[in-house]
Structure 1
Amino acid sequence: MNIQTADLCDAHEGKLAVVAPMFASYGGRSAFGGPITTLKLFEDNSLVRKVLEGPGAGRVLVIDGGASMRCALVGDQLAELAVNNGWAGILVYGCIRDSKAIGEMNLGVFALGTHPRKTVKRNIGEIDLVVSFGGVSFHPGHYVYADEDGVVVSASALL
């Protein structure tokens, strides 16, 4: 899949939501996209593991981590799990860690930044609900596309 968000914006003007420019790319795959699965949690990545243990089937996990910059919601072990289970990418409204290792994996990973501290494990969070950040709402089953130019969201598949 050849993803170019600028071209998608041109071809589908008015039909896409464009996320505010806030993310950095950390994965080995700089462009990715697919159907959205969402998580809403705060400084607890227990549900991230549970979701990534399931088949990805080319989906993108969108994690609303409340923009916390105090710990990492995804590390190399979770990223490897995502690769092994066929996830296209992970978009984290929060931090990741093990960025060097993640950068060598065939996975798209966008996040606000990095942090070396891991999360607590309380199994608290919500799966597959509408989450909003960056001026955009992410609906489970809608589509997200990301590359070096940014992140866009569509109600239907564009590629």
Structure 2
Amino acid sequence: MPQDNVRVHTAWDRVDPAVLDRFREHSVANLGDALDRLNIADGGITPIWTGARAVGTALPVLTVAGDNKAVIAALEHIRPGDMVVVNAFGYDGRAIVGDNLAQRFALYGAVGAVVDGYVRDGAIIEKLGVPVFARGLTPAGPFKNGPGTIGEAVAIGGVVVHPGDIVAADEDGVIVIPPHRADEALTAVEEIVAREAALDAEVAETRSRLA
């Protein structure tokens, strides 16, 4: 399929996989607290299957509402560890991603996808185990006309996502961490985890004493 109306930008860096591994140890809620409770996508974007979670480097895609030509074109630009992040304008009339695309994301090395829009084939995607986050499900398939962009900043859930940003997603939602704040976020979240562990221990001790 011709891709003449899909603009592609590829001159950006990806985060060290070891850094992504450290973020995978933490929940989105704790990461949100570590970043002053900012950079969190609105609560309308949620996992389409229970237990889905993923952390990756943002590969942003901008589409026309109800059209996934740019998402298909993005397949050839996926690198291992990427999270496909699609601004589909929150449109609920057409699914931008289905099981066919989801399994190809995984095949080419993507850790998952975040779609500010709707998707379909939820049960199959769950069976495949591909983490996909979206505003909901619809059986209606997309058009494939374009235009769109790949590798340029997009907005999802009210948060700007730049190519190369760290995107973490779990059952609570989605957060975006700029790479230049990665060390700061990791230091802060580790302190939060330590404080919460101390509070949990205090509660356990009190429960034991009152039993």
Task: Answer yes or no: same fold by TM over 0.5.
Answer: yes
CA distance in 1, matches of 2:106, 2:84: 12
CA distance in 2 between partners of 1:29 and 1:52 (Å): 25
Q: Match of 2:62, as an amino acid?
A: K
Q: Distance in 2 between matches of 1:28 and 1:48?
A: 24
Structure 1 residue aligned with 2:40: 18
TM-score, with structure 1 as normaliser: 0.89
Asked if residue 38 in structure 1 is aligned to residue 60 in structure 2, the reply is yes
TM-score (structure 2 length as normaliser) = 0.69
**1:69 counterpart residue number:** 92
Once the two structures are TM-superposed, the CA of residue 49 in structure 1 deviates from its matched residue by 1.6
Higher deviation after alignment, 20-29 or 60-69: 20-29
The one of the two structures with greater contact order (alpha-carbon pairs below 8 A, sep at least 6) is 1
The equivalent residue for 1:58 is 81
Structure 1: where are the runs of 5+ without partners? none
Give RMSD over aligned pairs: 1.9
The Cα shift of 1:150 comes to: 1.6
Deviations 1:25-44, CA, capped at 9 Å, x for gaps? 12576111111011111221
* Structure with a larger share of its residues in strand: 1
Identity of aligned residues (%): 32
Question: How much has 1:107 moved relative to structure 2?
Answer: 1.9
Q: 1:35-61 CA distances to partner (integer Å, 9 max, x unpaired)?
A: 101111122112212212444311111
Alignment of 1:112-131 (within 5 A): 112-131=135-154
Higher helix proportion, which one?
2
Structure 2, unaligned runs of 5 or more: 1-23, 187-211
